[in-house]
Amino acid sequence: MTWPLRGAFAAALLALALLQGSAHAQDATASTPPRSGDAWVDATLADIDRYAARYPEAFADELVRYDSAPRALVEALLADPQWTPGDLYFACALGQVAGQPCRAVAQRRQQERASGWGAIARSFGVAPDSTAFHRLKRGIVLAYARWARPLQVDASLHAEFPKLPLATPPSAGDAPQGAAPNPAKGEKGTAKRKGKDGAA
């Protein structure tokens, strides 16, 4: 068996194991808040859920191309009701900044779902206030640019991306920050890549 085939087979086996584990996780649901330790990230992951629901292929391609995630793993977890696209994005993005494969982070999430993403990130040496976590947040902004999707950024990112609008702190009843209009892009910014712009 060649190495590429071995890698695909291993990813498929891990995906199957994760799916089987999900079937027994009665207390873990897809509606569980991310609890990343960063309000902007939590709100943006909710918007990633909407983007992936509308453009699943583009979303999967993003993780495979930019986060080195095995496609078999991505497809399996997208089909798993215990995983949201936002969770999957965070797992792969965390793996990138922590120097770990996406499958390793996904497996840890499956084992420690009740802990929340903030605790899991710390277990990989990526605390919410760390330089590595900032790289993760910056990667979200770059992903949104590739998707030509409107985005507001928080104060920690605004100096690097001054053309993007500054998000206001979330309050009860507010729309997630990631879904807010981006007047800096205008109509051209949201239309330049048809099929991937999207407000859901």
pLDDT at 107: 96
- C-alpha distances in Å from residue 125, one per residue of 19, 64, 68, 130, 146: 26, 23, 20, 9, 28
> Looking at residue 2, what is its pLDDT?
56
**pLDDT one-digit tens code per residue, 151-175:** 999 999 999 999 999 998 755 445 4
Position 153 scores a pLDDT of 98
Strand partners, 166: 153
Nearest to 120 by CA among 31, 52, 34: 34
Low pLDDT (below 50) residues in the chain: 5, 8-13, 15-30, 172-173, 175-176, 180-200
Segments making up each domain of the chain, as ranges = 33-191
Give the helix/strand (H/E) hosting 66: helix 56-66
The pLDDT of residue 104 is 97
Q: What is the pTM of this model?
A: 0.74
- 166 SS3 class: strand
